[in-house]
Amino acid sequence: MDKKFITNIKGKDFVRFEGLLDAAHKDGLCGVETELLQIPDKNNGMVAIVKAVSRFKDKNNSVTSFSGLGDASPTNVNSMIVPHIIRQAETRSVARSLRLGTNIGMCSVDELGDNARDSNITVQPVVIGGLVCSKCDSTVFESEKEYSMKYYGSVLCRACQKGAKKL
C-alpha cells in the first residue's frame, strides 16, 4: 500500500479510507451496498448502526462478498460530525468491509473514535498535495483550500476559518 494512504498514531499505522478504495478497485471491487440497521434516537443514545456489503469480482468473474458493521454516536465522533452520524457510521462500515475484501489487516482511521485529539493521541497528518489545515492539521478539501487561500491567505479547515480574520 502506498504510504500516502497510511496515518501513524502513536507508532501504530492506520489505513485511510482513500487507500482502502484504491486497494479495493485494484482488487476487483464491483459494488458496495449499505443498510441502516439502527436509526439514531434518544432511546438508543443517538447511535447509528450501518451494515455494508462489498462485492469483489475475481479473474474468473466469481463474486465474493464481505460485510462490515459501523456505528457512530455523539460519544465517538467530533462535534462537527455529530449532525452526520449516519454517514459516519456508513463510512466506518464500508471501511470494515473493504478491509476484509482487500485483506488489509490494519484498522482504518475512520473506524476510530474521533476523540483521538482529546486523549493525548497525536495524529500525524498525511499530506496529500498540501491539503492539511495550517492551524489544526485536519484534512482540508480542495474547495476549502481554495476558499481559505482567497479569503484568509492560508490553508484553513472550515472550523479554523470561523475564528480567523479575513484579508
Regions of the chain short of the pLDDT cut 50: 116-130
* Alpha-carbon distance values, 104 to 15, 23, 24, 107, 138 (Å): 8, 9, 10, 8, 24
Spatial neighbors of 46 by CB under 8 A, at least 6 apart, are 40, 73, 74, 85
Domains of the chain: 3-126 (3.30.390), 127-167 (no CATH)
The pLDDT value recorded for residue 122 is 37
pTM: 0.67
> What does the alpha-carbon distance between residue 167 and residue 164 come to, in Å, rounded to a whole number?
9
DSSP symbol at 124: -
- Residue 57: its pLDDT value, please? 94
Nearest 5°: phi and psi at 147? -60, -50
